[in-house]
Chains A and B, each alone.
Chain A
Amino acid sequence: MEAGEGKVEPGVRIELTDAQQKARRTRNIAIGGCLLALVLVFYVATVVKFGPGLMRAQQQQGQLN
């Protein structure tokens, strides 16, 4: 069955079993970890790609002053 296919009456509260809650928690932690890793990757790559150029520009400006 596809997710979301089952019909639940409005106002009915779904209580997850312990196993379902545990699975959801581990998935959430994994998604959070992946997003954090992606942020770190872009941060580090930005420093690596633009850092040397910025340092050079700063040095040149220092020499001009």
Chain B
Amino acid sequence: MSVNDQIDPQISLATPGDYFVLMKPRVMRLVVFTALVGMLLAPGAIDPVLGFIAIACIALGAGASGALNMWYDADIDAIMSRTVNRPIPSGAIVPGQALNFGMVMSVISVMTLGLLVNWTAGALLAFTIFFYAVVYTMWLKRSTPQNIVIGGAAGAFPPMLGWACATGTLTLEGLALFAIIFIWTPPHFWALALWKMRDYDDAHVPMMPNAVGEKSTRNQMLAYSVLLAPLSSVPYFMGFSGALVGALSGVLGTVFLWLTYKVWQNQGRDEKLTAEKRLFAYSIFYLFAVFALLLIDAVTFRVSGTYLLANLVVM
């Protein structure tokens, strides 16, 4: 006897592809990239096989925290147009399956990184997953407009993680890479929030523009961008990148500041929010470009023993 008609919704039609989407592949891509840069910038050699395993574990850990985030946020994801097609609100995966998947992946990624690479990196990965899934998703996101400021730390840990994989320690250089992403996060997210404000309002998520106001948000975005512009060149000043990369990163940071200034200057007078959309698009390019430059410098150093234009003194 068949009872399919009664129980259809409980029998999963989820495919491996749905689980892959649950891991937020776009975020994972950025995590892999920044972690790789951190690993290659760090002093000392790391076995290529162990390096590959480390990056895979970090990617898996990021995916696990993404799955836990989607499990907890399924109710608000169903309200917002940007997230309504995610696997849980679309019905592809039931919440319990997402929770199990996230938990199992978290344990596997942390244990594998700890056992095969080192436990400093393993512990930091565990803390990153905890920070994103519990501190940001469960606590901060729905309770304070500072949610993405503090929660942004979760997205800023990967280069530190990469550094920790190579050296087994947490250092100031890793912290500098952390700081770039940490300070970059608020203007990046608030540029998006300014034009998706309605969505966040409907979902009762207290993002800065709808909780505190657009004017205050724009002021704060400008303040973070003022910090970010010089911070972009900090790797050069700390001696782990060359002058060329330091100068180009400085230019990228200055353009970021200029675009944020346009957002601040317009104060939303342009109904199409062109400046906000432009800043959001540029912010993604900025982070990719700064870390790509650092990657080029790291590879150059490992191949030739010196950075691109190691210093500003011309012989």
Contact = CB atoms under 8 A, between A and B. Distances in A.
Interface of A: 1-6, 8-9, 12-17, 19-20, 23-24, 26-27, 29-30, 38, 41-42, 44-45, 48-49
Nearest to A31: B16
Interface of B: 1-4, 6-7, 9-16, 19, 47, 49-50, 53, 56, 94-97, 108, 112, 116
Given A12-B3, A15-B2, A38-B108, A20 B13 contact: yes
Contacts of A41: 53, 56, 112, 116
A24 B2 CA distance: 18
Nearest to A20: B11
Given A2-B96, A13-B2, A38-B112, A30 B7 contact: no
A38 B14 CA distance: 22
A23 B13 contact: yes
Given A15-B4, A16-B11, A3 B47 contact: no
A8 B116 contact: no
Given A41-B116, A42-B116, A48 B11 contact: no
Contact of A5 (B10, B14, B15, B53): B10
A13 B96 CA distance: 24
Nearest to B117: A45
B2 A23 contact: no
9 contacts: A3-B94, A3-B97, A4-B10, A5-B10, A16-B11, A23-B13, A45-B49, A48-B47, A49-B50
Contacts of A8: 3, 6-7
A14 B47 contact: no
A41 B60 CA distance: 14
B10 A1 contact: yes
Nearest to B95: A2
A1 B9 contact: yes
Contacts of A17: 4
Contact of B2 (A14, A27, A30, A45): A14
Contacts of B7: 6, 8, 14
Contacts of B108: 38
Contacts of B94: 1-3
Nearest to A29: B16
Contact of B4 (A14, A24, A38, A49): A14
Given A17-B4, A49-B116, A3 B10 contact: yes
